[in-house]
Amino acid sequence: MPHGARDNTENGEAAGTRKGRERARHILETAVEVFLDQGYARFTLRAVAEAAGVSSGNLNYYYPRKSDLLQAMVEHVIDGYLAEFERRRRGAPDAPQAQLERVLAFWIDDLGTARTTRFFPELWALANHDREAARLMEYVYERARGVLVELLREVHPRLDRDTLDLVTVLMSATMEGLTLFAGDGKLWAHRRAALRELVQRLFAALPAD
């Protein structure tokens, strides 16, 4: 059941049923669009309900508070990324180095989408003055770094955990920072492929056993 969700039995629609899950997913996808289009200041339960075509009361059964909806929305976004990371890894099941390169390639290519170029900077800005958003941002990057730690451990098994953490923090900061330079419509967007290749080479050689 989504975070904060309750059984919508008054409407004959339990949040745990397939119909309920589909409704919750539709609400979350709509919430992302509202967040992108209007920013957090105008990101309200009412605005999301109107955009999703559901009543405020119906949305409240799933997400009683704005913070519940924000958390579920962020979890929904990162779950999508982790699923794509796993799909990319399955393309090279016996080659950890190739898996790492495929994950990095997807991460950097995704920075060029309009949705990603807007979503994460909006979350970063919110995290600067909202404790809950800051916690969610940390949660997002901890989960993403977990994939990188797992892959690097396979590629460089002699690295200790502290070094793995430092390297993956640097990797995440480098790739996310590229949003500002090579994201959708940014100055270096036309060189994103070259930047992707360079990042892959740099991080493939960065750790020393």
pLDDT tens per residue, range 63-95: 999 999 999 999 999 999 999 999 999 999 999
Considering 43, 64, 85, which residue would you say is the last residue of a domain?
64
pLDDT score at 14: 55
Give 209's contacts (C-beta < 8 A, 6+ positions apart).
Answer: 156, 157, 158, 159
pLDDT score at 3: 46
Query: Are 58 and 80 members of one domain?
Result: no
Query: Are 78 and 45 members of one domain?
Result: no
State both tokens at 38. 């209007």
What range defines the domain where residue 127 resides? 66-205
State both tokens at 174. 């480098």
Asked if the model's pLDDT at residue 207 lies above 60, the reply is: no
Query: Are 70 and 18 members of one domain?
Result: no
State both tokens at 56. 């405020």
Alpha helices in the chain (DSSP H): 18-38, 45-52, 56-62, 66-90, 96-110, 114-127, 131-155, 161-182, 192-205
Query: Are 50 and 122 members of one domain?
Result: no
30, 51 contact by CB (below 8 A): yes
Query: Are 29 and 77 members of one domain?
Result: no
Query: Are 21 and 124 members of one domain?
Result: no
Q: What are the DSSP calls for 25-53, one per residue?
A: HHHHHHHHHHHHHHTGGG--HHHHHHHHT
